[in-house]
Chain A
């Protein structure tokens, strides 16, 4: 299925949910659950827990679909944010992050440019973000990765990279400033 068709199918189905259309939610589920489950599983690491959170995610989508504004956001962006936030909430309420392995920025290999999958956004958007991430210092990129993919907090990242908390905060903030400037070019 081509990307734009997929995107508009998801957006159209989201638009029918506020009327109480369960089949519309099921359509959204069919088109997006594998991606969102991957997101939850990556952060939580356990299938059972990730499924509990995925259930919360679609119940949230059911309740909040009226807030989705197709003219402002892409449906996958909106859904991924809900999935990440629910998974992170779960993580925070139960335990430490799953992945607390030490990160050594000096030996961190540069990101492999993974194939952007069509369920997300255009290949160009992914390539653009990647180009900007590549422009960051390796320690900054490593810290952002730990946060985005492992659900690490500032404290987790400081421990994993063996730097003081304040240093980690300034790394992340500086990285985000650079990232925004680069993406806006």
Chain B
């Protein structure tokens, strides 16, 4: 333990290595996954590490899965054409290029990850407006939380994004403030959680720092989307 090795690598390179190796857990792991989805240069670092480590898998013996497994997989494949509706609305993202493709895939990966955590199907909403105004929301009904990831959002120097839930009565209920740079998980008050069901609309408005003080959106509603099952 007295080696004098003193080279270093940038923090991102080490983070990519830790992720590819698999030593991260929980929020650390999810955060790296989202970064890889949103930042192609970071995704390339991860891919580089996956490539360095992959030859190690040569030491793992091949084991044949049950003969019936292929049929199960074939039955589980979504048709590309309909792909659960979510992908249809995601076609918009292709306009953003390669990063968007990776982003869509990783958003789904993150949703599956969250789904696995909660052991129940989450409801999701693609909250979209024009231009760079997209959020992906995942509702965990069991915990009464909604996690909102900024898929594409250019921050505004003077205003902050605020999330609203709009049930069938059409009256927006404030949920909480969002971030332009990271996923935010908000806890829904019990009465609001009861309203958060399939087809209910989520909306994002721009508000003064601290959020709307009136209980209703005071700034422009820049994006909306419906909760749907994945």
Contacts and interface: CB of A to CB of B under 8 A. Distances in A.
A25 B80 CA distance: 13
Contact of B65 (A33, A60, A66, A81): A33
Given A63-B78, A81-B54, 6 more contacts: A22-B77, A78-B50, A89-B113, A92-B25, A114-B58, A137-B1
Contacts, number: 177
Contacts of B21: 144, 147-148, 172, 176
Interface centre among B5, B18, B52, B117, by most chain A C-beta atoms within 10 angstroms, is: B52
Contacts of A114: 58-59
Given A59-B77, A89-B113, A76 B54 contact: yes
Contact of A29 (B26, B59, B73, B109): B73
B76 A55 contact: yes
Given A33-B65, A33-B69, A147 B55 contact: no
Interface string B100-113: 01100100110011
Interface string B195-211: 00000000000000000
B72 to A, nearest CB: 6
A114 B51 CA distance: 19
Chain A contact residues, majority secondary structure:
helix
Interface of B: 1, 3, 5, 7-9, 13-14, 17-18, 20-26, 29, 47, 49-66, 69-70, 72-74, 76-81, 83, 101-102, 105, 108-109, 112-113, 116-117
Chain A residues touching B, range? 35 or more
A62 B63 contact: no
Interface centre among A22, A55, A115, by most chain B C-beta atoms within 10 angstroms, is: A55
Contacts of A128: 55
A77 interface: yes
Given A38-B62, A81-B20, A153-B24, A174 B5 contact: yes
A71 to B, nearest CB: 12
A119 B76 CA distance: 26
B53 A148 contact: yes
Interface in A23-73: 25-26, 29, 33-35, 37-39, 41-42, 47, 50-51, 54-56, 58-60, 62-64, 66-67, 72-73
Contacts of A63: 78, 83, 105, 108
B116 A89 contact: yes
Contacts of B60: 35, 38-39, 42, 149
A116 B76 contact: no
A130 to B, nearest CB: 8
